Structure 1
Amino acid sequence: MRSLFIVLLVALSCLALAKGQCPRPCRNINRPVCASWKRRGIIDTCTFRNDCILQNQICQRRQDWIKRLPEAACIVETRNCRSLLQ
């Protein structure tokens, strides 16, 4: 029982550290990534400058963006992308 408690404590500590690593620094590289996010029945589709910026958005805002393939800019974007990606 004590071992289980220690494992749980270590796991929670690691999770707290992982959340603290957000945002991570991103290079200023232009490799567009198209991703979609479904919320309350609405699907938003936006282009991110690169995968690192997408991962920071997911981490910071706790949003479930899903990368679309192939990795490129979106052909059609949602109108409110600018406000979503702030």
Structure 2
Amino acid sequence: MKRKRGPVETFSVSVDAKAKKILKAHADRLFEGNMSALISAFAREAEKRDAMDWLIRDAGGSKLTDELREELAAEFRGTRKRRTRAA
């Protein structure tokens, strides 16, 4: 496993037992059990989400209607009803 380059910081986090079990299992699957790598990945994801939120706000907000959001969600789930064309 690669060591981090540069300075690192240590901090304490308190979670309930169930959350700890979930996080540990996730770290085991994706980061060879490295909880620090898991937390670092979460931080990078949070940074991306913050950037996306900023882009959406800067562009004037989302133009999606609730109906279109549901249609897109259904398509991602694979449950979208296909529109039929009139002949």
Whether the TM-score (by the shorter chain) exceeds 0.5 is no
Greater Rg over alpha carbons, structure: 2
Going by fraction, where is helix more abundant, 1 or 2? 2
Q: Which has the higher contact order (CA 8 A, sep 6+)?
A: 1
Going by fraction, where is strand more abundant, 1 or 2? 1
TM-score, normalised on structure 1?
A: 0.32
